[in-house]
């Protein structure tokens, strides 16, 4: 059971990372990924960019639910909640 939740958390982190890269590439107007992240941090919308990256977690979550892999879906959900809390705390500071 714990292994399945860990796999779901790992998939959630990978999906969020890929989503962040895609969002930065699409919204970056052709700039380098690191430049987009730096600019987003300086302009105060890095949290929004990270939240956009979490959209891929939704896809992973529903794939696990459809395959009846509930514990993996729970791991993806845990990472998504963690990212939401991280984004909220990051926005405060």
Cβ(28)–Cβ(36) below 8 Å:
yes
How many domains are contained in the chain? 1
User: Which residue matches tokens 């891929």?
Assistant: 56
pLDDT tens, residue by residue, 22-77: 999 888 887 888 899 999 888 888 888 888 889 999 999 999 999 999 999 999 99
> In terms of residue numbers, what domain contains 12?
2-92
45 DSSP 8-state letter: -
Instruction: Flag whether the pTM goes above 0.85.
Output: yes
Q: Which two tokens stand for residue 74?
A: 């729970």
32 DSSP 8-state letter: -
């Amino acid at each position: 059971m714990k292994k399945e939740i860990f796999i779901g958390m790992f998939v959630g982190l990978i999906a969020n990372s890929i989503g962040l890269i895609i969002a930065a590439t699409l919204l970056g107007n052709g700039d380098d990924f690191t430049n987009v992240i730096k600019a987003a941090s300086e302009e105060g919308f890095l949290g929004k960019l990270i939240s956009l990256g979490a959209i891929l977690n939704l896809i992973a979550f529903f794939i696990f639910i459809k395959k009846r892999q509930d514990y993996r879906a729970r791991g993806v959900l845990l990472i998504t909640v963690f990212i939401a809390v991280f984004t909220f705390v990051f926005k405060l500071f």
